[in-house]
Every structure is written in C-alpha cells, then in structure tokens.
Amino acid sequence: MSEIIGFIFIIIGLAFDLFGCLGLIRLPDVYNRLQASTKCVTLGTCGILFGMLFIVGFTASGIKAILCALFLLLTSPVAAHALSRAAHISGVKLWEASVVDKYEEDGK
Amino acid sequence: MRTLRYIIGLISLICILLIILLYPPEASVYLGLIYVDFSKRALFILILCSALCLFRIIKGPTAPDRIVAIDIFGILIIGFCAVLSISTKRNWYIDIGIAWALQSFISTLALAKYLEGRDFDE
C-alpha cells in the first residue's frame, strides 16, 4: 500500500517538473520564468523525494531523502530571491505588459 | 477563445503524461520487476525536462536566464538520483543528490553575487 502512495507522489512530482520546464520555455521574461521554475523545486523534486521515502521506508536512504528534501525547501527560495534581486540590479528589463515594479519604487 | 486554447493545451499535456506512464508494460512487470519498468518511464520524463532546460541555456537572451536554467537542471539531477536509487536499490545514489544540492545552492549564490557586480569577499 505504501508503495502505491509513493508512486502517486512520484507521478505528481514528475508532472510538476514537466510543467515547470514548459514554463521555463514559454514565459516571456526572466522574472516570470523564475516564478514558474521554482515550482519545479518545491512540488516537483520534493514530491519525488517524499515518494522515495514512502517506497523505501525509514531506512538509511529514506532518511537521507527526507534530509535532502528539507535542505531543498530551506535553500531554494533563498537562491531564487538572490537571483531575482541580482537580475534587477544588473539591469534586466521587465516585460512590456508587466503592471507593477515595487522594487524600483522603493529604491527611489 | 484564448481560455479555450489554454484548456486544450493543458488537457493534451496531461494526456501525454498519462500515455507515457500508463503504456502497456513489458514482460518484466510480471516477473516482479515493477520498479525497473516504472523508473524507465520516470527517467524518460526527466530527460525530456532537461532537454527543455538545455534549450533555454543555449538560447537565453540574458545571463540571468541561463543561471535560472542551470539551477533547475541541478534540481532535476537530484530527481534523477532519487529515481535511480529506487530502481537499483543502492543507497549511495541519494548521497550524490545531497552533494549536488549543496553545490548547486552555493554556485547559484556566487553567480548572483557576480551579477550584482560585487566581489566575493564583501
């Protein structure tokens, strides 16, 4: 039974990986692409790792998988935030149809 | 009209995913090798995703595009390691995943700092 739950978690993770990479291709802007592709991390790869935990149980590799998922959940938003801030400082323009830019307003 | 296009695209994507996952299995499933058969399909989807990331790395108009794509490529490799660790029942593949997560985080922060125009010791 726990194997079936693990397979379902892995399938959800694969679907989110595929949709995130499609967003990386289709969206028009660095910031939009960043917003789409961070879903790859928190729901995609963490889903695969939790599915692995359900399949192998609380063995050595299962606990390593949950440690890896916790580390990803802690670090990848920090990396995405630093990257968007760096892109804004280095002068990448927003897409023409973007509505608001709060970071630019606060800088002035 | 535009909403209809989006809905048709979403339904066709979900159909592609289900066709890959639910295609009639090989004879190895009946011998008890369901992990091998499942992980083949999962690796196929992950290879498709990394091909899309490679396209963005090659074509990306600015430097932050390429850095985002490289970050997501590293994240996909962690998924690779997890699926391989399930199918081959070897523990050390997930160790590679943890090491890759550390290295990917530090390299992304370093590249972001480089883009801001600061030195590494500030």
Q: CA of B1: how far to CAs of A28, B7, B9, B15, in Å?
A: 21, 10, 13, 21
Domain, as residue range, for B20: 2-116
pLDDT, tens digit, 9 for 90 and up, residues B81-108: 999 998 888 888 899 999 999 999 999 9
**A45 to chain B: closest CA residue:** B79
What whole-number percentage of chain A has pLDDT above 70? 99
Residue B52 has its nearest CB partner, among A21, A83, A92, at A21
Q: What is the mean pLDDT of residues A86-106?
A: 83
Nearest CA in chain B to A48: B79
Higher local confidence (pLDDT), B67 or A2: B67
Tell me whether residue B75 is in a domain. yes
A-chain CB neighbours of B49 within 8 Å are 17-18, 20-21
3-state secondary structure at position B50:
helix
**Cα→Cα distances B66→A19, A87, B74, Å:** 18, 11, 12
pLDDT of residue B30: 63
Which residues in chain B (87-116) have CB-CB distances under 8 A to chain A? 91, 94-95, 97-98, 101-102, 105, 108-109, 111-113, 115-116
B79 to chain A: closest CA residue: A45
**Is pLDDT above 70 for A42?**
yes
Neighbouring residues of B10: CB distance < 8 A, sequence distance ≥ 6: none
Q: How many CA atoms are closer than 13 Å to the CA of B82, on its beta-carbon side?
A: 37
Interhelix angle A2-26/B2-22, nearest 10 degrees:
140
* B63 belongs to a structural domain: yes
The pLDDT assigned to B120 comes to 64
Q: Look at residue B28 in the predicted model and tell me its pLDDT.
A: 62
> Rounded to an integer, what distance in angstroms lies between the CA atom of residue B70 and that of residue B122?
25
Contacts of A9 (CB under 8 A, 6+ apart): A47, A48, A50, A51, A54
Can you spell out the DSSP letters for A53-82? HHHH-SSHHHHHHHHHHHHHHHHHHHHHHH
Q: Which residues in chain B come in under a pLDDT of 50?
A: none
* Domains: count for chain B: 1
pLDDT at B36: 75
Q: Looking at residue B16, what is its pLDDT?
A: 82
Q: Which of A18, A60, A75 sits opposite B48 (nearest CB)?
A: A18
Q: pLDDT for A18-31, tens place per residue? A: 888 888 888 888 88
Q: Tell me B24's DSSP state.
A: P
Q: What is the per-residue pLDDT for A36?
A: 87
User: Is the ipTM here above 0.85?
Assistant: yes
**Domain-embedded: residue B6:** yes
Report d(CA A68, CA A70) in Å as an integer.
5
Q: Please report whether residue B121 resides in a domain.
A: no
Checking if the pLDDT of A76 tops 70, the result is yes
pLDDT at A48 over 80: yes
Domain residue ranges in chain A: 2-107
Model confidence at A71, in pLDDT bands (50, 70, 90)?
very high
What mean pLDDT, rounded, does chain A reach? 87
In this prediction the pTM is 0.85
Q: Which structure tokens are listed for A30? A: 């660095």
How far, in Å, CA of B92 to CA of B84, rounded?
A: 10
